[in-house]
């Protein structure tokens, strides 16, 4: 592997071709992201990888969290070693799960990574390019937390990523960071496969009752608001802590636990997406533009979607994130089921609304239109700019019928 003190040189074209060739043997690259640290992202990544393998998949697990490489500890393979050569042989866990982590490069568990950005970028490329992954169905990649330089560098090195799974906890503080994480994916053209709400309720080890310590359902509500799939919730379970410290993924060590059942439920929609395809984000349409519809009343966002006077249709250039056109259309007659078809015929990809009933939201999803609810009563151009900049502050859905 790269010597931290070696001189940095630009990547050679031949090595970049080698990276593409290596990644071409992997069918699906699943990115595990979180808007902040401390939400259990690595635990989710490890158990999802094992759950995918239990479903009969050939799986690899790549840990590129430089400052907290916890995958070796979670799998009990801290002593795993990688040998020199033209290709790096990954460490094998259990029944053939191939694992590579920054943790295998450190001399001790307490060593800090104090490398600068260019060296980190080179090591990441080596992980993708030089590790002998072989033919895989899935490569699960545990990302650094946040949306800064390191996640950006990793994302830009992975060609044809299948999509991202975003991990959050139910409280509002974590959800605010997840909104930025979703915007990060949209701006990079990475499809969002869905959101997992981790630490959702505490399972009492004595009576089995679930107590909502960090609230519950915040991730599901937010996923519905921003129009991404909700994959499910994973409870806080003392067994997970004990087994993680012992290097045993809960899906193997406690196959009948509620946590294992949660992970197995979460894997099902991920597998279903792979058998079809992950739809592109509304901000990465083929024509390079997306059209956003906003219901208006007296020039501002109407709070009740189905009773607006007119619609503002705002076109946004995907590459520049700039508004390139805006028109208004008189609202059609208020008939059940009419608006979803009418807006789809007008080329709408996204709706920003103050309030909308859950039934109406499902009809728009069927038309492949993303719905954002709970927006404030402001002018259309202001709301669209906030949306494309990732700063749209959505509140409660005031119309839930």
Asked if residue 128 belongs to a domain, the reply is yes
DSSP 179: H
Alpha carbons within 13 angstroms on the beta-carbon side of residue 227 total: 28
Asked if residue 65 belongs to a domain, the reply is yes
CB 237 within 8 A of CB 250: yes
State the burial class of residue 293 (Cβ atoms within 10 Å of its Cβ: 0-12, 13-18, 19+).
buried
pLDDT for res 286 = 45
CB 201 within 8 A of CB 233: yes
Q: Collapsing DSSP states into helix, strand and coil, what is residue 60?
A: strand
Tell me, yes or no, whether 271 and 345 share the same domain: no
pLDDT for res 359 = 67
Return all residues near 252 (Cβ < 8 A) that are at least 6 apart. 50, 94
Asked if residue 113 belongs to a domain, the reply is yes
pLDDT for res 292 = 94
pLDDT for res 113 = 55
CA atoms of 10 and 380, how far apart (whole Å)? 45
Q: Which of 279, 304, 323 is the last residue of a domain?
A: 279
Tell me, yes or no, whether 22 and 126 share the same domain: yes
Asked if residue 396 belongs to a domain, the reply is no
Asked if residue 398 belongs to a domain, the reply is no
What confidence tens digit (pLDDT) does each residue in 137-166 have? 999 999 888 766 667 777 877 767 899 999
User: What CATH number corresponds to the domain at position 49?
Assistant: 3.40.50.300
Tell me, yes or no, whether 266 and 288 share the same domain: no
Tell me, yes or no, whether 216 and 328 share the same domain: no
Q: Which of 261, 279, 297 is the last residue of a domain?
A: 279
Tell me, yes or no, whether 103 and 144 share the same domain: yes
Tell me, yes or no, whether 116 and 100 share the same domain: yes
pLDDT for res 368 = 73
Q: Which two tokens stand for residue 175?
A: 């959800």
Question: How many CB atoms sit inside 10 A of residue 270's CB?
Answer: 23
Q: Which of 279, 309, 325 is the last residue of a domain?
A: 279
CA atoms of 7 and 390, how far apart (whole Å)? 38
CA atoms of 372 and 350, how far apart (whole Å)? 8
Asked if residue 63 belongs to a domain, the reply is yes
Q: How many residues does the chain have?
A: 401
Concatenating the DSSP letter of every residue in 79-124 gives T-----SSSBPPEEETTTEEEEEGGGGSSSTT------HHHHHHHH
CA atoms of 125 and 121, how far apart (whole Å)? 6
CA atoms of 226 and 169, how far apart (whole Å)? 16
Parent domain of 108? 13-279
Tell me, yes or no, whether 294 and 321 share the same domain: yes
Tell me, yes or no, whether 258 and 292 share the same domain: no
The DSSP H or E segment spanning 297 is: strand 289-297
Asked if residue 7 belongs to a domain, the reply is no
- The alpha carbon dihedral of 360, 386, 146, 369 has a sign of positive
User: Which backbone phi and psi does 201 adopt, to 5 degrees?
Assistant: 90, 140
Tell me, yes or no, whether 213 and 65 share the same domain: yes
User: What CATH number corresponds to the domain at position 289?
Assistant: 3.30.420.130
Q: Collapsing DSSP states into helix, strand and coil, what is residue 338?
A: helix
Measured between its terminal Cα atoms, the distance across the chain in Å is: 58
Asked if residue 4 belongs to a domain, the reply is no
Tell me, yes or no, whether 88 and 129 share the same domain: yes
Tell me, yes or no, whether 256 and 323 share the same domain: no
Number of domains in the chain: 2
Tell me, yes or no, whether 308 and 359 share the same domain: yes
CA atoms of 354 and 190, how far apart (whole Å)? 27
pLDDT tens digits in sequence order for the chain, 401 residues long = 544 334 334 445 556 677 777 888 899 999 999 877 778 899 999 999 999 999 889 999 999 876 667 898 999 998 877 766 667 889 999 889 999 987 787 655 555 555 556 676 777 777 888 888 889 999 999 988 876 666 777 787 776 789 999 998 887 666 777 788 888 888 788 889 999 998 887 767 677 666 766 666 677 777 877 778 889 889 888 888 888 888 899 999 888 888 888 999 999 888 888 765 444 444 444 456 889 999 999 899 988 777 788 999 999 987 787 899 999 999 988 777 788 889 989 999 889 988 777 667 767 766 778 778 888 889 999 999 888 876 676 555 555 44
The DSSP H or E segment spanning 274 is: helix 258-275
CA atoms of 366 and 154, how far apart (whole Å)? 33
């Amino acid at each position: 592997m790269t010597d931290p003190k070696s001189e940095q040189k630009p990547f050679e074209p031949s090595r970049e071709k080698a990276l593409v060739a290596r990644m071409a043997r992997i069918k699906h690259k699943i990115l595990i992201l979180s808007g902040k640290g401390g939400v259990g992202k690595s635990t989710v990544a490890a158990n999802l990888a094992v759950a995918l393998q239990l479903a009969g998949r050939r799986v690899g697990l790549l840990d590129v969290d430089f400052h907290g490489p916890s995958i070796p500890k979670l799998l009990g393979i801290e002593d795993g070693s990688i040998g020199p050569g033209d290709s790096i042989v990954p460490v094998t866990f259990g029944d053939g799960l191939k694992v590579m982590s920054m943790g295998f490069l450190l001399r001790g568990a307490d060593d800090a990574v104090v490398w600068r950005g260019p060296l980190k970028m080179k090591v990441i490329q080596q992980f993708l390019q030089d590790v002998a992954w072989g033919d895989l169905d899935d490569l699960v990649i545990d990302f650094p937390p946040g949306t800064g330089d390191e996640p950006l560098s990793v994302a830009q090195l992975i060609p044809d990523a299948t999509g991202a799974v975003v991990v959050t906890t139910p409280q509002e503080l974590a959800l605010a960071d997840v909104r930025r994480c979703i915007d990060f994916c949209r701006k990079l053209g990475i499809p969002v496969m869905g959101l997992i709400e981790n630490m959702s309720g505490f399972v009492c080890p004595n009576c089995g009752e679930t107590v909502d310590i960090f609230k519950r359902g915040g991730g599901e509500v937010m996923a519905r608001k921003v129009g991404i799939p909700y994959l499910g919730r994973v409870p806080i379970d003392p067994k997970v802590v004990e087994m993680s410290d012992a290097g045993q993924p809960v899906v193997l060590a406690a196959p009948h636990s509620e946590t294992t059942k949660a992970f197995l439920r979460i894997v099902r929609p991920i597998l279903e997406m792979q058998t079809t395809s992950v739809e592109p984000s509304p901000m990465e349409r083929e024509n390079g533009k997306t059209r956003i519809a906003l219901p208006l009343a007296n020039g501002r966002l109407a709070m009740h979607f189905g009773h607006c006077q007119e619609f503002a249709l705002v076109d946004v250039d995907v590459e520049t994130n700039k508004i390139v056109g805006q028109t208004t259309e008189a609202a059609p007659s208020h008939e059940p089921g009419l608006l979803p078809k009418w807006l789809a015929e007008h080329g709408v990809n996204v709706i920003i609304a103050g309030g909308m009933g859950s039934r109406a939201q499902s009809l728009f999803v069927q038309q492949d239109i993303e719905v954002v609810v709970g927006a404030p009563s402001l002018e259309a151009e202001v709301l669209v700019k906030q949306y494309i900049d990732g700063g749209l502050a959505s509140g409660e859905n005031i119309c839930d019928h």
